[in-house]
Chain A
Amino acid sequence: NAGVTQTPKFQVLKTGQSMTLQCAQDMNHEYMSWYRQDPGMGLRLIHYSVGAGITDQGEVPNGYNVSRSTTEDFPLRLLSAAPSQTSVYFCASLEPLGTGELFFGEGSRLTVL
């Protein structure tokens, strides 16, 4: 059972480039989300989805897009990377009727030069 899988684990981009962080879960969880983690700050919610075809903005959505075409996949797109998007990104899933536990991927470290 793989849980939540994120790729890539590391990425370096130049300002203005675009890229997609991939996230997949095999637990059949309806809820999926993307967070970013910066030093001295808690994890901040970027976008989330409560099921296939449904997405919504979190606390810091600017500069990011998401889609949810299947229950399993929830990619995060950076449209035009900026140095302020240098961060560690975590994808997480949750089964709402369960314990409320968030299951995280291993994280993707992104550096924008």
Chain B
Amino acid sequence: RKEVEQDPGPFNVPEGATVAFNCTYSNSASQSFFWYRQDCRKEPKLLMSVYSSGNEDGRFTAQLNRASQYISLLIRDSKLSDSATYLCVVNMRNDYKLSFGAGTTVTVRA
């Protein structure tokens, strides 16, 4: 079993729609969680950290469910510019060795 698993998608959604997807992780002792965004042929960039109580950043909402060992990302009012691959990143051992999911691809169409 992979340490971090994501639905690869793609999620094809119209502008203005809401899209949500999850990421599961294998280690229940994982300490910190992040969503990164990666545009085609570019480097990953931090989108947001995921806090235990859930957190929002504009149109983006991240949730953590420790009992079921998954995190989620919800994008409201999707924009064309939200088209990207979203990487789930988990710090499983409270060290610097972050574990990456393979990514979920979102395509927003006009």
A113 is an interface residue with CB less than 8 A from chain B:
no
Question: How many A residues, CB 8 Å from partner?
Answer: 24
Considering the complex, which residues of chain B in the window 2-51 have a beta carbon less than 8 Å from any beta carbon of chain A? 2, 4, 8, 32, 34, 36, 41-46, 49
B31's closest neighbor in chain A, by CB?
A100
- Report chain B residues within 8 Å CB of A101: 34, 46, 49
Main secondary structure of the interface of A (DSSP, over half): loop
Residue interface bits A35-55, CB-to-B below 8 A is 1, else 0: 100001111110010100000
- Report chain B residues within 8 Å CB of A59: 97
Apart from A90-B44, A94-B96, A100-B49, list 13 A-B contacts with CB within 8 A: A35-B100, A42-B2, A42-B99, A43-B44, A48-B97, A50-B96, A58-B97, A99-B46, A101-B46, A101-B49, A102-B98, A104-B44, A105-B43
Subset of 28 A-B contacts with CB under 8 Å = A35-B100, A40-B8, A40-B102, A42-B87, A42-B99, A42-B101, A42-B103, A43-B44, A43-B100, A44-B100, A45-B98, A48-B97, A50-B96, A59-B97, A94-B96, A96-B96, A99-B49, A100-B34, A100-B49, A100-B91, A101-B34, A101-B46, A102-B44, A102-B98, A104-B43, A105-B43, A106-B42, A107-B42
